[in-house]
Amino acid sequence: MKTYDRRVEIAEAAMPLFADRGYYGTGMQDIAAAIGIKASSLYNHYSSKHEILAFIMTTAMTDMLNTHARCLAGMHTPTEKLGATVATHMEFHAHRRLETQITNREISHLKDPDRTQLRRMRKDYVNRWIEIITEGMETGEFTCEDPKITAYALIDMGIGVCNWYRPDGQVELEILKVIYKEMALRMVGGK
Amino acid sequence: MKTYDRRVEIAEAAMPLFADRGYYGTGMQDIAAAIGIKASSLYNHYSSKHEILAFIMTTAMTDMLNTHARCLAGMHTPTEKLGATVATHMEFHAHRRLETQITNREISHLKDPDRTQLRRMRKDYVNRWIEIITEGMETGEFTCEDPKITAYALIDMGIGVCNWYRPDGQVELEILKVIYKEMALRMVGGK
DNA sequence: CCTACCGATCGGTAGG
DNA sequence: CCTACCGATCGGTAGG
């Protein structure tokens, strides 16, 4: 591990490749060529190909958890919290399409201990959604059949965005956020 | 290509492997070993590894389109149609987890002409959802911001099921269907 | 950061 | 269905 910047640069070069061809479909040669060096030189910055994948995925998941925690600032009611959570979740998957695609598709290729850690983080994230929905049911703001299933459905529909959203598309991100917020509030019987 | 049965048997042996390790992460040896033969013998039934992937994906997509068309029988109002569509979509992704996982994850690994064909089928499928939602808005049964985005969100939340549903889990499939139907109808402002 | 190289495995073919 | 084998490529190492 030399400079951290170089590690990030390599990871960013690997992202479109992992997202497009998958982990096993991408060679160290491909990643190296993307930044104009030889494959063997990558080992000055990462000890293995797996480490590049793990770096990308844990960085993305860590950022998502932090971004979510930050978006809750100033939100008090479950309705406010869920609205912010949905909008931020959706926006994160739109802004960081490649990393979230990789994180969701290649998780089975991660080896321990990274996989266990990532699963733990994901579980933590899901639990936050479940808690917000449950809280909303307690205050009477929400009414729904099952907080867990509802959380799954809401998360899944936000994840889906990373597969079809295009920055140069015809739908504005800000409009998308409004639409997703509205759909979510309806789903939990809120507003 | 010898007997069709053998082709199906090979494809079914490949499914859990492709779903778990991905297309490039699975070798012909792995697939062959799963049914107790040598890798080279697979070429008596498929001309390439790619053909196995294409067979799995086009079969799954064809079945999904047919299953959906069948579920609309006897449904007349947009509300009925959407309810049947959501329930059937979700159930298909629960029943055929492996194939739908593969179809959604490995589509970028498909080569033409299979990829183009699959994309066309998928587009056809999405259009059916959009049309039902649009029809519901015209009759006044539904009210929502954008039929296309709403269709995407509904489809994505159903697809998500193939990633977390387990046949031996604690949630009954019939209950899931009811929950998803209810969430969908709320999302389009129906019921 | 490079060149040179390692053993292993890849998808696929030939021939029976 | 098998054995035997092909060239290509894989992730990774040695040494500078």
Q: How far apart are CA B79 and CA B75, in angstroms?
A: 9
Minimal Cβ distance to B20: which of A108, A150, A155? A108
Nearest chain A residue to B172 by CA distance is: A149
Is pLDDT at B12 greater than 60 in this prediction?
A: yes
Quick one: pLDDT at residue A1? 44
Q: Helix B49-71 and helix B78-95: axis angle, to 10°?
A: 150
Nearest C-alpha neighbor of B106 from the set A174, A19, A187: A19
Chain B contact set for A186 (CB, 8 A): 186-187, 189
Q: Is B189 left (phi over 0), alpha (psi -120 to 50) or beta?
A: left
Vertex A77: Cα angle to B157 and A152 (nearest 5): 15
Quick one: pLDDT at residue A170? 85
Whether B155 and A160 lie within 8 Å, measured CB to CB: yes
- Residues B88-115: what's their mean pLDDT? 97
Token pair for B30: 């792995």
Quick one: pLDDT at residue B66? 98
How confident is the model over B54-63, as pLDDT tens digits? Answer: 999 999 999 9
Cβ neighbours, 10 Å, residue A113: 9
Quick one: pLDDT at residue B1? 44
Residues near B118 by beta carbon (within 8 Å), at least 6 away in sequence: B57, B58, B61, B103, B107, B110
Residues near B30 by beta carbon (within 8 Å), at least 6 away in sequence: B17, B21
Percent of chain A at pLDDT exceeding 90: 94
Chain B contact set for A171 (CB, 8 A): 146, 149
Would you say the C-alpha torsion A154, A156, A157, A162 has a positive or negative sign?
positive
- Residues A103-110: what's their mean pLDDT? 96
Residues lining strand C, beta carbon within 7 angstroms:
A 2, 6, 32, 36-38, 40-41, 44; B 26-30, 39-40, 43, 47-50
Is pLDDT at B114 greater than 50 in this prediction?
A: yes
Is pLDDT at B20 greater than 80 in this prediction?
A: yes
Minimal Cβ distance to B183: which of A108, A182, A187? A187
Quick one: pLDDT at residue B175? 96
- Residues B44-64: what's their mean pLDDT? 97
How confident is the model over B138-158, as pLDDT tens digits? Answer: 999 999 999 999 999 999 999
Token pair for A12: 């960013």
Top pLDDT among A17 and A169 is at A17
CA of A24 to C1' of D10 (A): 10
Quick one: pLDDT at residue A2? 59
Average pLDDT of chain A, as a whole number: 96
Token pair for B2: 């010898």
Is pLDDT at A75 greater than 60 in this prediction?
A: yes
Report the predicted TM-score, pTM, of the whole model to 2 decimal places.
0.95
Three-state secondary-structure class, residue B90: helix
Quick one: pLDDT at residue B2? 58
- Residues B91-99: what's their mean pLDDT? 98
C-alpha separations of A12 from A31, A52, A139, B127 in Å: 9, 10, 44, 35
